[in-house]
Amino acid sequence: MEFTQLGRTGLKVSRFCLGTMNFGPLTSEEDAFAIMDKAHELGINFFDTANVYGWKIGEGVTENIVGRWFAQGGGRREKTVIATKVFARMGDWPNQGRLPALHIREACEASLKRLHTDHIDLYQMHHVDRTTPWEEIWQAMEVLVQQGKVLYIGSSNFAGWHIAKAQEAAKARHFMGLASEQSMYSLNDRMIELEVIPACKDYGLGLIPYSPLAGGLLGGVLQKIKEGRRARPDMQKEIKAKRTKLEVWERFCKAKGEHPADVALAWVLKNPVVTAPIIGPRTMEQLSGALRAFKIKFSKDELKKMDEIWPGPGGEAPEAYAW
């Protein structure tokens, strides 16, 4: 496994981040435990979760599974850089969601309890809160850092200007601010190349892409359909709309002699701003197989061909849309 630093921090994390969103809803606890053990065996030390995963309001289903795995001991917690998130509604009362100081404090305490740990390595704001001032957010986060309950702060689903506002407010408080941003990024979803990636680069944030396979769209979905496997109902409309692109994409990967999922992951990994794409395996085979992406390299012609199949926004702003 390759390791790198999380943005400008000194924290070393694996180049893959194990996503746990399937744990509970799609992956049994027993299988989740096996996948996490295998991740450590492969050298993956970076795990990502969220208090809302499991999708039962206030229950923290996935965090509880990860916590019970930590509780088995054997160095599981000590070997893991655990990232979780705050923002989603965790109850029916007014302050049980978003990023007011009250919810940040209560959500952190609840996550610590579920995760069976005394600190969160990377505490990520799951979304921008347009109704809470940065002075309040940073004051609440500073307290958690001072108490040793949180080590690093991250964002998720922020626009470039949200990152700038957050960092300038943190700078005024002589606080480190954001260490990372977690955004949707894949060949199919390249919008963050416009402003988010440049902001991460300028402020020294690590970038943690989620959905690097576009929910499976880039993972050889047409071949799977030919083999008799059904595409997810929510993906069928997009498959139909992008069928021509997908046919060219899968032919390209076949000619390269690689599985489409591995090629898509390798493309994300080649971006120097990317710290670690999140992989969310449902099986042990998917987890082990993802390592192939580290060995895939691209020629200039291949990169050009991928840009033709999956065009981005045209580069960075403002040149992407102006002179």
Please confirm, yes or no, whether 123 is among the known catalytic residues. Answer: no
Q: Name the token pair of 39.
A: 């991740």
CA separation for the pair 116, 113 (Å, rounded): 5
Q: Which of 53, 123, 152, 185 is catalytic?
A: 53
- Which letter does DSSP use for residue 231 in this model? P
Return the closest-CA partner of residue 20 out of 58, 74, 64, 59: 64
Determine how β-strand 81-86 pairs with β-strand 120-125: parallel
Between the alpha carbon of residue 261 and those of residues 19, 236, 287, the distances in Å are: 16, 18, 12
**Where do the DSSP E strands lie in 51-95?**
81-86
Asked whether the beta carbons of 38 and 27 are under 8 A apart, the reply is no
Q: Name the token pair of 316.
A: 């960075």
Helix (H) or strand (E) holding 32: helix 29-41
Give residues with Cβ within 8 angstroms of 323, minimum separation 6: none
- Phi/psi-derived region of residue 73, left when phi > 0, alpha when psi is between -120 and 50, beta in every other case: left
* Active site residue ranges: 53
